[in-house]
Amino acid sequence: MLKHIFFYLCVKPIILIGLGLNVRNYERFPKKGPAIIVANHNSHLDTLVLMTLAPQKLLRKVRPVAAYDYFCSNPVFSWLSKNFLGIIPIKRTRSTKDEDLLQPCYDAIEKQQILILYPEGTRGKPEQMAEFKSGIARLAQKYPQMPICPVYMHGLGKTLPKGSFIPVPFFCDVFIGEALKWNGEKQSFVDSLRKSIEDLQKQGHFPEWE
């Protein structure tokens, strides 16, 4: 309930009116779980934008994967993140040799939820993608029939770049690609996913970022 109130009374009006989103191929947005939305990452607004796109009946199932040490180090921030965003906190280091850091993701997928995951691992410079980490390939390998939906977002890195706290109104584009599935080889899958997002970027014919 808190999540729905937060998004429909606060987040959606700000995102849809304040930013002026232009969404391409919205029909490709996952219609049910389990699924993973994979996107480039330039801003804290990225997650809010992607969750805003979810239909009301799906919002409770859409859960962003986030760094445990960043979102759960403060008890108040942790409570807000879990109850208003529904984050899946992932630790960066193992507590024991046999611990699987992706177990919280497995649990969410088993519950038919839709994950938001940024394979770069952290926010990068505006419109520049860093190297993709292998976590997404491990999830795809474990659930080979699960759709992985690539998304490219442009403009949010200028609206609220890393290190900034006050958003600046700027028109933003969201491109949703065709879903991918596990292809049998980790590096090949990661390369295919990155190429899908880069191809979505090219569809925008955006000028070089200043």
pLDDT profile of the chain (210 residues), mean per 10: 79 78 94 96 87 90 86 75 85 85 96 95 70 93 97 82 62 93 95 95 76
> Could you tell me whether strands 148-154 and 35-39 are parallel, antiparallel, or unpaired per DSSP bridges?
parallel
Instruction: Please state the domain extents for the chain.
Output: 2-12+24-92+99-203
Of 99, 53, 104, 102, nearest in space to 82 by CA:
104
- Report d(CA 151, CA 28) in Å as an integer: 10
State the pLDDT at residue 45: 85
**CB count, 10 Å around CB of 120?**
18
What's the pLDDT score for residue 40?
93
Residue range 2-12+24-92+99-203 forms a domain whose CATH class is: alpha beta
User: What pLDDT is stored for residue 2 in this prediction?
Assistant: 74
Joined together, the tokens standing for residue 70 give 């960043």
Q: What pLDDT score does 82 carry?
A: 81
Q: Peptide bond preceding 34: is omega within 30 degrees of 0, i.e. cis?
A: yes
Q: CB–CB of 81/72 below 8 Å?
A: yes
- The two three-digit tokens of residue 184, written as one number: 């049998």
The answer to whether the beta carbons of residues 49 and 174 sit under 8 Å apart is yes
Enclosing H/E stretch for 89: strand 88-90
Reading the block at residue 105, the tokens are 């993701």
Q: What is the pLDDT of residue 204?
A: 82
Q: What is the pLDDT of residue 163?
A: 59
The terminus-to-terminus CA distance of the chain in angstroms comes to 41
Q: How high is the pLDDT of residue 110?
A: 97
Tokens encoding 97: 């040799």
Q: What is the pLDDT of residue 42?
A: 81
